[in-house]
Structure 1
Amino acid sequence: MNPYTIRQLAAQAGLSRATLLYYESAGLLSPACRSASGYRLYGQNELDRLRSIRALRDAGISISAIKDILGDRSSASMQLLKVRLLEIDGEIRALRDQQIILARLLAQESLSVPEKVADKDAWGTLMRDAGLSDADMHRWHAEFELASPAVHEQFLASLDLSADEIAEIRNWSRMPWQQ
Structure 2
Amino acid sequence: MYSIGKLCKEYNLSRSTLLYYDSIGILKASERTKSNYRIYSEEDKERLGQICLYREAGVSLEEIKELLNSKKKSEENILKKRLIQLNNELHILRLQQKIIVKILKSKSFNSKVLMMNKKNLVSILKSSGIKEESLHNLHVEFERMSPHEHQIFLEFLGIDEEEIKCIRSKAKTEINKLL
Q: TM-score scaled to structure 1, two decimals?
A: 0.65
Q: Specify the SS of the correspondent of 2:107.
A: helix
Residues 135/20 of structure 1: CA separation in 2 closer, same or farther (3 Å cut) = closer
- Code of the residue aligned with 1:7 in structure 2: it is G
Match of 1:51 among 41, 49, 52: 49
| Number of the residue aligned with 2:24 | 26
The offset of 1:135, in angstroms, is 4.2
| Number of the residue aligned with 2:157 | 137
The offset of 1:123, in angstroms, is 5.0
Q: TM-score scaled to structure 2, two decimals?
A: 0.65
- The 1-side partners of 2:88 and 2:20 are apart by 30
- Code of the residue aligned with 2:153 in structure 1: it is S
The offset of 1:77, in angstroms, is 2.7
In the alignment, structure 2 segments of 5+ residues that lack a partner are: 122-151, 166-179
Number of equivalenced pairs: 133
Residues 176/7 of structure 1: CA separation in 2 closer, same or farther (3 Å cut) = closer
1:13-68 per-residue CA deviation (whole Å, 9 max, x = no partner) reads: 11001000000111110112111222110122111111111111121111111110
Q: Specify the SS of the correspondent of 1:29.
A: coil
CA contact (8 A) 1:135 1:177 kept: no
Q: Specify the SS of the correspondent of 1:27.
A: coil
Of the two, which has the highest radius of gyration? 1
- Code of the residue aligned with 1:137 in structure 2: it is L
- The 2-side partners of 1:10 and 1:136 are apart by 37
Aligned-pair RMSD on alpha carbons?
A: 2.6
- The 1-side partners of 2:158 and 2:86 are apart by 22
- The 1-side partners of 2:15 and 2:22 are apart by 11
In the alignment, structure 1 segments of 5+ residues that lack a partner are: 143-174
The offset of 1:176, in angstroms, is 5.1
Report whether the alignment pairs 1:62 with 2:54. no
| Number of the residue aligned with 1:12 | 10
| Number of the residue aligned with 1:165 | none
Report whether the alignment pairs 1:97 with 2:95. yes
The offset of 1:89, in angstroms, is 0.5
- The 1-side partners of 2:115 and 2:12 are apart by 38
Residues 63/135 of structure 1: CA separation in 2 closer, same or farther (3 Å cut) = closer
Residues 138/38 of structure 1: CA separation in 2 closer, same or farther (3 Å cut) = closer
CA contact (8 A) 1:29 1:49 kept: yes
The offset of 1:136, in angstroms, is 3.4
| Number of the residue aligned with 1:155 | none
Residues 41/176 of structure 1: CA separation in 2 closer, same or farther (3 Å cut) = closer
